[in-house]
Amino acid sequence: MAATFSPTPYQEGRLLDLQVCKSYSPNLPSRITATISRVISMTMSVVLDVTFQTRQGPPVHRVLKLYDRRFGSCLREVRKDRAAPHTQENEAAFEAFVRRGMMPGFLRHRKERNETETLPVRAREFLDEPNRTEGLAKYEAALWQDCIEHFECETKAYHRLTDLQGTLVPRIHAHVSLLPTKLATIIPQEIAPYFEVRGILLERIDGYCLENLTLGPLPQNLRTWQHIIQLAVDAAYEINKRGVIMEDCAPRNVVVDRQSQTPRIVDLAQCIFRDEMVSEWYQWGWHEDEDWDPDVEYWEQVSTTNNPGAIGAVMANRVQRKTGVKLDFRYPDWSGIIAKIRRRKEEAAAVERKTPRR
pLDDT of residue 65: 98
| Structural domain containing residue 22 | 15-203
**What string of H, E and C letters represents the secondary structure of the chain?**
CCCCECCCCCCCCCEEEEEEEEECCCCCCCEEEEEEEEEEEECCCEEEEEEECCCCCCCEEEEEEEECCCCCCCCCEEECCEECCCEHHHHHHHHHHHHCCCHHHHHHHHHHHHHHCCCCCCHHHHHHCCCHHHHHHHHHHHHHHHHHHHHHHHHHHHHHCHHHECCCECCEEEEEEECCCHHHHHCCHHHHHHHCCEEEEEECCCEEEHHHHHHCCCCCCCHHHHHHHHHHHHHHHHHHHCCEEECCCCHHHEEEECCCCCEEECCCCCEEEHHHHHHHHHHCCHHHCCCCCHHHHHHHHHHHHCHHHHHHHHHHHHHHHHHCCCCCCCCCCHHHHHHHHHHHHHHHHHHHHHCCCC
CB atoms within 10 A of CB 73: 14
- Percentage of residues of the chain with pLDDT beyond 70: 97
Question: Whose CA is closest to 197, among 180, 218, 212?
Answer: 180
| Whether residue 24 is found in the same domain as residue 62 | yes
- If you average pLDDT over residues 28-38, what whole number do you get? 95
**198 in any annotated domain:** yes
Instruction: Taking the CA atoms of 16, 39, 167 and 265 in sequence, report the sign of the dihedral they define.
Output: positive
The pLDDT tens digits for 246-267 are 999 999 999 999 999 999 999 9
| Whether residue 235 is found in the same domain as residue 252 | yes
| Whether residue 191 is found in the same domain as residue 73 | yes
- If you average pLDDT over residues 316-339, what whole number do you get? 96
Residue 71 has pLDDT above 90, yes or no: yes
- If you average pLDDT over residues 88-97, what whole number do you get? 95
**162 in any annotated domain:** yes
**153 in any annotated domain:** yes
**9 in any annotated domain:** no
| Whether residue 211 is found in the same domain as residue 194 | no
| Whether residue 65 is found in the same domain as residue 146 | yes
- If you average pLDDT over residues 61-83, what whole number do you get? 92
| Whether residue 195 is found in the same domain as residue 166 | yes
pLDDT of residue 185: 64
| Whether residue 225 is found in the same domain as residue 330 | yes
| Whether residue 120 is found in the same domain as residue 155 | yes
| Whether residue 187 is found in the same domain as residue 265 | no
The pLDDT tens digits for 145-196 are 999 999 999 999 999 999 999 999 999 999 999 976 666 667 788 888 999 9
| Whether residue 29 is found in the same domain as residue 173 | yes
Domain endpoint, select from 160, 185, 203: 203
**More confident site: 175 or 290:** 175
CA atoms of 132 and 4, how far apart (whole Å): 16
**68 in any annotated domain:** yes
| Whether residue 195 is found in the same domain as residue 212 | no
**114 in any annotated domain:** yes
pLDDT of residue 51: 97
The pLDDT tens digits for 193-231 are 999 999 999 999 999 999 999 998 888 899 999 999 999
Q: What is the overall mean pLDDT for the chain?
A: 93
Residue 357 has pLDDT above 70, yes or no: no
Would you place residue 352 in the very low, low, confident or very high pLDDT band (cuts 50, 70, 90)? confident
Total domains present in the chain: 2
Tell me the pTM: 0.93
pLDDT of residue 3: 66
Would you place residue 124 in the very low, low, confident or very high pLDDT band (cuts 50, 70, 90)? very high
| Whether residue 136 is found in the same domain as residue 271 | no
CA atoms of 266 and 172, how far apart (whole Å): 11
**5 in any annotated domain:** no
The pLDDT tens digits for 50-62 are 999 988 888 999 9
Domain endpoint, select from 161, 186, 203: 203
Domain endpoint, select from 203, 231, 249: 203
pLDDT of residue 61: 96
pLDDT of residue 1: 44
**10 in any annotated domain:** no
